[in-house]
Structure 1
Amino acid sequence: MAWLGLLLTLYLLKLWLGMREPFRHFSRGAMDISLLRIGLTLALAILLPVALAYVHRHVQAIPRLPINTLPHLLALLLLGAVTTGLGLYLLAQRLKLAEPSTEVSEHRNNWQKNLMPRELFIHLESHILANRRHREIPNRIYQKFEPSLCQEGGSEKGTFGGRTLVETQPILSEIAYGSGFRAVRIVTSVLGQTLLAVGALSLIGLSADLARVAHQPALLIGLIMPGMLLIFGAVLSRMGNAFWAEMQFRSLLLELSVEGTYTESKLSTGTGIYDSTRSENTVVRSTITPWFLVSDLLTSTFAISGNMNLEQERHILSLGKADDALDAVLGELEEFFASRQTIAGVNEVDLQSASQIYQMNEQTRALAAQPTSLALAAEQASGLLARTEEEQGTTT
Structure 2
Amino acid sequence: MAYDFGSQTLGIKNPFKTEGKFRAVTGAILLASGVIPLLMVAEALKENPVYAYTYAILGFVLLAAGSRHLGVGLFQLFRYFVGRSVPTSLAYNRSRSEQDIAQSEQKTVLYDDNQLHAMMMGRKNTTFVEPQGWVARFLHSIFPNLTFLPHPLRNLAQELGSLAISFIAAIVSFLIVAFVVSTGLAGEKAQLLAMPVLSFLLLVYLLRLWFSAASAIHNRRNTQLHKVSGLSVSMLIGMSILVPVIVGFGLDAVVDVSTSELAAWMEKYTVFSAWLNLVILGVTMAIVIAGILPGLLTRMRGVSPQTEVSEYRDNLQESVHPNEIFINLENIVLANRRYKEIPNRIYRELDPKLKEQADGKGSFDGELLIETQPRLAQDQNNEIATKQKLLPTLLGQVCVLISFALLSFFALSVADGMSLLREATNNFSGGKLTDSEVIALFNQVSHALVLFFAWMALSAAGKMLNNASHLFWGELKFESMMMYLKTEGTFNESKFSTGMSIHDSTRSENVLVRSSITPWIITSTIKSSIFATSGASNLETPRYIMGLTKNDNELASIIEEIKTFLQKRESIASITNEADLQSASVIHQVNQQTRAHSTEATQDKITLKEDEEAAGYLRNNDTPEDKS
Q: TM-score, normalised by structure 1?
A: 0.82
Task: Give, in whole Å, the separation in 2 of the partners of 1:197 and 1:53.
Answer: 41
**What SS is found at the alignment partner of 2:537?**
coil
Given residue 270 of structure 1, which amino acid in structure 2 is its aligned partner? G
Which stretch has the larger CA shift, 23-32 or 226-235? 23-32
Q: 1:269 to 1:227 in 2, by over 3 A?
A: same
| CA apart distance, 1:165 | 1.2
Q: Is the 8 A contact 2:295 2:384 kept in 1?
A: no
Q: 1:305 to 1:24 in 2, by over 3 A?
A: closer
Q: Is the 8 A contact 1:6 1:69 kept in 2?
A: yes
Residues 245-260 of structure 1: matches in 2 within 5 Å? 245-260=474-489
The correspondence for 2:242, drawn from 47, 65, 68, is 47
Task: Give, in whole Å, the separation in 2 of the partners of 1:227 and 1:360.
Answer: 103
Task: Give, in whole Å, the separation in 2 of the partners of 1:123 and 1:313.
Answer: 33
Task: Give, in whole Å, the separation in 1 of the partners of 2:390 and 2:298.
Answer: 14
The correspondence for 1:242, drawn from 450, 471, 474, is 471
Task: Give identity over the alignment, percent.
Answer: 34
Given residue 238 of structure 2, which amino acid in structure 1 is its aligned partner? A
User: What residue in structure 1 maps to residue 15 of structure 2?
Assistant: none
Q: Is the 8 A contact 2:308 2:549 kept in 1?
A: yes
User: What residue in structure 2 maps to residue 228 of structure 1?
Assistant: 457
Q: Structure 1 residue 22 and structure 2 residue 217: aligned?
A: yes
Residues 1-396 of structure 1: matches in 2 within 5 Å? 1-20=195-214, 21-23=216-218, 27-34=222-229, 39-60=234-255, 66-152=271-357, 154=358, 156-176=360-380, 181-207=385-411, 209-210=413-414, 213-214=417-418, 217-218=445-446, 219=448, 222-347=451-576, 349=578, 352-354=581-583
Given residue 406 of structure 2, which amino acid in structure 1 is its aligned partner? S
| CA apart distance, 1:174 | 1.9
| CA apart distance, 1:39 | 4.5
- Answer with 1 or 2: which has the greater Rg: 1
Which stretch has the larger CA shift, 169-178 or 305-314? 169-178
| CA apart distance, 1:352 | 4.6
Given residue 70 of structure 1, which amino acid in structure 2 is its aligned partner? W
Q: 1:259 to 1:360 in 2, by over 3 A?
A: closer
| CA apart distance, 1:85 | 3.5
Task: Give, in whole Å, the separation in 2 of the partners of 1:56 and 1:182.
Answer: 57
Q: 1:108 to 1:9 in 2, by over 3 A?
A: same
Q: Is the 8 A contact 2:496 2:509 kept in 1?
A: yes
Unaligned runs of 5+ in 1: 363-396
Q: Is the 8 A contact 2:474 2:531 kept in 1?
A: yes
User: What residue in structure 2 maps to residue 375 of structure 1?
Assistant: none
Q: How many residues align?
A: 361
> Which one has the bigger helix percentage?
2
Task: Give, in whole Å, the separation in 1 of the partners of 2:513 and 2:527.
Answer: 41
* Residue deviations 1:260-296 (CA, integer Å, cap 9, x gap): 1111122222222112112222211111111111111
Which stretch has the larger CA shift, 273-282 or 251-260? 273-282
* Residue deviations 1:202-227 (CA, integer Å, cap 9, x gap): 22443355467559754356321111
CA RMSD of aligned residues (A): 3.0
Given residue 343 of structure 1, which amino acid in structure 2 is its aligned partner? I
Given residue 174 of structure 1, which amino acid in structure 2 is its aligned partner? Q
| CA apart distance, 1:43 | 3.0
Q: Is the 8 A contact 2:506 2:584 kept in 1?
A: no
* Residue deviations 1:190-211 (CA, integer Å, cap 9, x gap): 0111111221232244335546
Given residue 107 of structure 1, which amino acid in structure 2 is its aligned partner? Y
Q: 1:360 to 1:56 in 2, by over 3 A?
A: farther
Q: Is the 8 A contact 2:276 2:450 kept in 1?
A: no
Q: 1:304 to 1:146 in 2, by over 3 A?
A: same
Q: Is the 8 A contact 1:13 1:228 kept in 2?
A: yes
| CA apart distance, 1:40 | 4.4
Q: TM-score, normalised by structure 2?
A: 0.53
